[in-house]
């Protein structure tokens, strides 16, 4: 059982909801979300949705890159 399962809160500044996902802080910060923490960023459902919207193009390009090989 990881931290999300134990009920850690969202790492985005000003948010105190329960986290549903854990991602590297570098990726989340690059997506434009202001997070606190050093290694892992814990995101609630709403902020994870914002993260997915912000990185949609990057994920699509990565998918194309790996399918071409």
pLDDT at 69: 65
What is the C-alpha to C-alpha distance for residues 42 and 8, in angstroms, rounded to an integer?
7
pLDDT at 58: 93
Q: What range does the domain containing 40 cover?
A: 3-67
Residues of the chain with pLDDT under 70: 68-69
- Tokens 């985005």 belong to residue: 12
- For the whole model, what pTM was predicted? 0.88
37: which 2 tokens? Answer: 């923490």
Number of domains in the chain: 1
């Amino acid at each position: 059982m990881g931290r999300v399962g134990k009920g850690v809160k969202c790492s985005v500044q000003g948010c105190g909801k329960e986290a549903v996902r854990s991602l590297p802080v570098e990726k989340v910060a690059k997506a434009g979300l202001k997070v606190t923490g050093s290694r892992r960023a814990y995101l609630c459902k709403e902020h994870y949705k914002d993260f997915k919207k912000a990185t949609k193009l990057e994920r699509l390009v990565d998918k194309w890159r790996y399918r071409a090989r």
